[in-house]
Each structure stands twice: as structure tokens, then as C-alpha cells.
Amino acid sequence: DWALHMVAAALKFSSDTSPVISYKTPDEGRLDILKTLNWFEAHDEYEWPDFSRLGYDFSQAMRFRRALVNDLFVALHKVGHIKITGEAGVMGTPDSVRGVRETKRTGADSKRMTERKRRCKRGDDSDTDIASDEEDKYFWEDGDLLASTMGCLLGRCLSILPEELAASLNRVKDPMELADIVHDGLVEVWSEPRSQYRETLATLKRKAEIWARDDESTTERLAPELSVQPGGAKCGPTAL
């Protein structure tokens, strides 16, 4: 299926660029491909291949994603869709191409994308790299960020875990086992969407409404049963 993944990614990336797009370095081109596909994914116009569904863990899935970006870059470079200039002003510049994209993208999410690109742009009088190593680092490569995120998630769900299970977490060494525990704990405490990023929040809101209605119907269904004794007599304050 790799060829199909390549075609899908190429069509989506090419739909947002001019016939020929130039970059000063190959890494700049790869980074722009990744950001562009991520932008389309955030707007539900593209979906990365679900490598995790094939049995690969998170880090392996991310390596496959980067490999797809690299293969796409190589293919587009071979056919002439991507040019590596090494200097500004030849066959257009990355900044000019990005300007066209930013004009096409409107709305709140577009503004966030524009701000992110503006931070990575290289000034005309600057001799520094386009972005620092920290800006180029993917979130799954940032150990401090992932550790802090895990701490936040644990803090949200530890309060509902049985005391014995919470105390035993220090002995859990298998990543998947710990992930399952945290996953179940977060589902237990989840009541409504928290993120304001994805456009799929409407789906989560509907799920929250369904869960709330289900809780209400369960309570209403159990109320008569709790008020009737096994012999058929209703329980009341005097019966208790």
C-alpha cells in the first residue's frame, strides 16, 4: 500500500502548491511537506496512514510517517515539482510560495498556521537557519514535552483509580500497559471535550450529550427497582 499512500499524499500536497516550488535546502522542503499535510489533516482534508492499526507502536508509526514525507520529497524532486536552489530568487522562493498558501487559507485555523509559518520564515537580511533545532523538533521527539504531558494526564485520572492500582503504577514498566491504565482512567473522568483545536469537536459534543442522556435514563430505570422489595412491597422510610 506504500505506493497508494505516496499518491494520496502527493495529490494533496500538490493541490496546495504552484507547479514548481523552490526550497533552499532539502530539509526545508521536507518540513514544508510535513506541515502542509498536517494542516490538511487538521482540517479533515487528509488522513495520515494508520500505521498503528497495522500493529506498529507509536514511535514506529512516526518513523513511517517521516519516511513517507522523505519518499514524497524525493519523488517530487525527481519529477521537477520541487527545486532546491541553494539561494533566494531562483525559481521563486519558499516565502513567496507560502504567501500564496496563506492567502488561500482563511479563518481561525488559518491564522494559527500563518503564525507558525511566520516564526519559521527566514528574514531577508538574516544569515541564520530558517528555524532553530527546537522549532524543528517534532513533538514526539521532545522528551520533556511528552513527560510533562503524561504528568498532566496522570493527574487527571489518578484520583478515580483504586488506591491499590494507583500505588502499583510505579511498578508498571510496559508502555502499553501503562497507556491502557491511563486511557481507561481518562475515559472514566471524561465528561466533555477539552481541546479547542480539532474541528471534530462537534462529534465529541454529541457523544457527551449521549452519555449524559444514558446516565439519566439509567437512573430513572433503576429508581423504581430500588423502591420495591423482593416480595413486591414498596420500601419507604418506615420499611427501612
Domain boundaries, the chain: 2-139, 142-190, 200-240
DSSP code, position 84: E
Average pLDDT, the chain: 69
Element (H, E) at 21: strand 21-23
Question: Mean pLDDT across the stretch 40-63?
Answer: 84
Query: What b/e string do you get for 62-95 counting C-beta neighbours within 10 Å, with b at 16 or more?
Result: bebbeebbebbbeebeeeebbbeeeeeeeebbbe
Q: How far apart are CA 167 and CA 162, in angstroms?
A: 9
**Rg for the chain (alpha carbons), in Å?**
26
The set of cell numbers assigned to 47 is: 488522513
Q: Judge whether residue 51 has pLDDT over 50.
A: yes
Q: Judge whether residue 48 has pLDDT over 80.
A: yes
Q: Which of 3-17, 22-36, 104-118, 146-160 has the lowest mean pLDDT?
A: 104-118
